[in-house]
Every structure is written in C-alpha cells, then in structure tokens.
Structure 1
C-alpha cells in the first residue's frame, strides 16, 4: 500500500500525505478498516501521529471514525457521488474561466498535447488510458488557473470518488462525447475566452453527472460501469 518512509521534517504531514495518496489511488479500498497498529508499522510513525493523521483525513471526508470501532475509509453512496460531481462542476468551471484568463502559449501547448494523447487512446479503444488522460487534463486546467483553493477542494472531492473511478467512460458513445467536450474546453482556453471555458467545463461535468445518475444501478456482475471523470 505504501513505500518505506522518506525523509521529512514533519512526520505527521508525511504520514497524512502518504495515506491520503493511498486512498486516492485506490490502494486502500472504500470501507476498509484502518487499524492503528498496522499503520504504525506501515508508515513508520508513532501511534499518536497515526491518530492525528486519521483525524485529519476524517476532516477531509476521506475517513470515518466510529466510537469503539476505530476508523475506516469512507464509502460514498451513489447519490452522494452525483452531488460531488455537481459541486465539482461549479468549482472547475471557475478554474476554467481563470485558466482562460491566465494561460500562456506553453500552457495551451501542454493542454493540446494531453488532448492529442487522449485522442490516440480513444482511437485504440484504450478507454482506461483515456480516463487517465482525462484526469491529467482536468488537473492541468486547475493548475493553470492558479486557484489553490479549488485545487485543494477538488482533490478532496475526487479522492472521495474512488469507488466510482471506472464509470461513465465505458457508457457506449460516451468517449466521443467526452472528447468533443474536452476539445471545446481547450479551444476556449486557447482563445482566452473565459465565458466559453467556464460554460464548456460546466456542461462537461453536468453530462458526467447525468451519466452517473442514469447508470448508478447498472453494475453487471458487481464490477460497475466505472471510468475516471
């Protein structure tokens, strides 16, 4: 789940980042118990640091603590997943507007490079690879925006969606629709059109919300119809 401890002046911050990253990558499954003794050994820190880490993760919405039962990775319901994506649409629309206002030629080139990789993945029907590119594109837009609060909030919201990390991209026809939406977003940013960039991101994530809502009970074989959004 986690690698050996690296050097850090603050073991509490390091432990928090390592466990948070593990949850976001899906190394630790939703609903999985987080046993303090196991974390002490895995993270190489004291029990006090582990308790502080779990409390911080609970405040971030990634862990839930139960009286006399310890902590576990929080499980997000289907309905909450839809609500989280709705909130993301507002935050990332704001970031897209600011990205359009701030983007340099190098920024636009980076976005178009990611978009080109996504196009190649889609042509090869590598939908999971496409989803990885999707995630990188969203992250790059937020990075370009320079809006650190949006970056922090969206990172926490995405981490809570681990159970839904493979969903809408596998819906028939969604790949092409998604690519068209991302292309429109990138071109709006390239044109420094804040209104169009904001609208493009909002539309994209509202379409994701619609697909999440429509497919929330469609999980053949219990595997889920999941894809990074």
Structure 2
C-alpha cells in the first residue's frame, strides 16, 4: 500500500483507522470549540475525506465520536451537523456528573490503600498550590480531572463506564469551565478540594463525596451562567480549546 492509498484508508502507513478517526475528530472538535464551525453547520463526509485524506469509513467514525461527545447531531440520510447545546442540557449533564463523581470519591475513600491516599493528597496539594500561584485554568482542570480519574479507578466497572460516558459528553464544556475558574481566581471550588483532602486520611467517605459533588455543583452553576450570558451576546464568544480526553 502506498502513502496515498494509506491516507484514503485511514492515515499514513502504521496508523490504525481508530487513531485516524480520533485525529479527524480532534481537529473538528477544536474548530467547533473555537466557533470556526458554528451550530447548525453541516459536516459532509465527502468534504472531510478530501480535506483530511481519509476514506468514508474513517470520516463516519470521526463523526460518530463527535456525536457521542454531543458535539454533532447525526441525521439519517442527511449527515451530521454541529449541535446547538443549551444551558439546560449542560445543567442536567453536570447534575449527573456531580452524582457520579461523588460516588467515585466515596468509593475511593473506602477502598484506596494508605499509599494511594497519600499520593492523592499530594496531587490535591499540587492542584491547590498551582491555583494559588495563578496557574492557567486549563492546567487546573487537567489536574482535577486526573484526580477524579484516579478516584474513578476504584469504582465498579459499570460506574467507570458511566463516568467515562458523562466525561465525554461534557468535554465540549471544558472551555466554559476554564472561563469560570479564571474569573474566580483563588476562590471557586478550592474549599471543596480542601474538604476532600481533609476527608481522605480520615476515610470519611460522606465528607469526600460531599466535597466532590460540590465541586461539580459549583462548575454547573458557573458554566450555565456563562452559557446564558453567551446566549444574550450579539456576537459569539470565542471558546478556548478544551483539553484533549
């Protein structure tokens, strides 16, 4: 297979179709988040194939990935178009996410080894230090998601699948979360992180779960508020690129 054929089938030689689809999806995701692709814009398979040098199966897979993330709506016999996410949908997603993250924190508190708890406390300390030093909001979000990811690793397989699904669906809104954190500086959700930090060595599952839920409730309110303000603006607000997941 030559290079041209490899591109049509899913990327350069040695690159699998799944990785090629992920790459196309990531490129489109960044454009959607930057408002280069506005809500309602159609994403045609033929155009994606020509632009990215991939086959139709790769283009379809990339669009399915974006559909699972809630970034596009796929209509039978018509194609895919960029979704117009509402503040109400975001509010509901964060409500579910708060419940699942609270569950993850509870199980982590009960099931982690003493060594793992010590490592997580160190990670939280680094997050709090970074916030106090004025680190970029995107860095704080990356650190917090890594901690919650470690917590989720102690939940059941079913709970882990649900957490992974809701994280995919809210990935689009990380740019709004970054704006919320940047606006609050040293305030925001950090008292809730301190609550989790204090609960871990005591293995106080109820307090750890409450802290995790309250972090998400804070983000829920702030993201919804920013989206509502965006809706009232005459010009679209530029979104910053979200962390890749």
TM over 0.5: yes
Is 1:66 the equivalent of 2:75?
yes
Equivalent position of 1:40 in the other structure:
49
2:130 aligned residue (92, 111, 117): 117
CA distance in 2, matches of 1:161, 1:110: 24
Tell me the SS of whatever aligns to 2:203: coil
* Structure 2 spans left out of the alignment, 5+ residues: 1-9
CA distance in 2, matches of 1:6, 1:99: 41
* Structure 1 spans left out of the alignment, 5+ residues: none
1:207 aligned residue (204, 218, 235): 218
CA distance in 1, matches of 2:237, 2:200: 34
CA distance in 1, matches of 2:239, 2:181: 7
* Deviation string, structure 1 residues 203-225 (Cα, Å, up to 9, x no partner): 22223223344454334564659
Is 1:157 the equivalent of 2:169?
yes
Tell me the SS of whatever aligns to 2:80: strand
Kept after mapping to 2: 8 A contact 1:119/1:179: no
Bigger radius of gyration, 1 or 2?
2
Equivalent position of 1:84 in the other structure:
93
Q: Shift of residue 95 of structure 1?
A: 1.6
CA distance in 1, matches of 2:148, 2:72: 28
Q: Over aligned residue pairs, what C-alpha RMSD do you find? A: 3.4
Q: Shift of residue 67 of structure 1?
A: 5.0
In the superposition, relative to structure 1, how do residues 42 and 10 fare at CA in structure 2: closer, same or farther (>3 Å)? same
Kept after mapping to 1: 8 A contact 2:42/2:80: yes
CA distance in 2, matches of 1:211, 1:104: 29
CA distance in 2, matches of 1:191, 1:7: 53
Kept after mapping to 1: 8 A contact 2:173/2:223: no
Kept after mapping to 1: 8 A contact 2:68/2:169: no
2:147 aligned residue (124, 140, 149): 140
Is 1:179 the equivalent of 2:190?
yes
CA distance in 2, matches of 1:52, 1:226: 25
In the superposition, relative to structure 1, how do residues 145 and 212 fare at CA in structure 2: closer, same or farther (>3 Å)? closer
Q: Shift of residue 199 of structure 1?
A: 0.5
Tell me the SS of whatever aligns to 1:217: helix
Kept after mapping to 2: 8 A contact 1:95/1:150: no
Q: Shift of residue 91 of structure 1?
A: 1.3
Q: Shift of residue 178 of structure 1?
A: 1.9
In the superposition, relative to structure 1, how do residues 55 and 16 fare at CA in structure 2: closer, same or farther (>3 Å)? same
Kept after mapping to 2: 8 A contact 1:40/1:50: yes
What's the TM-score, normalizing by structure 1? 0.74
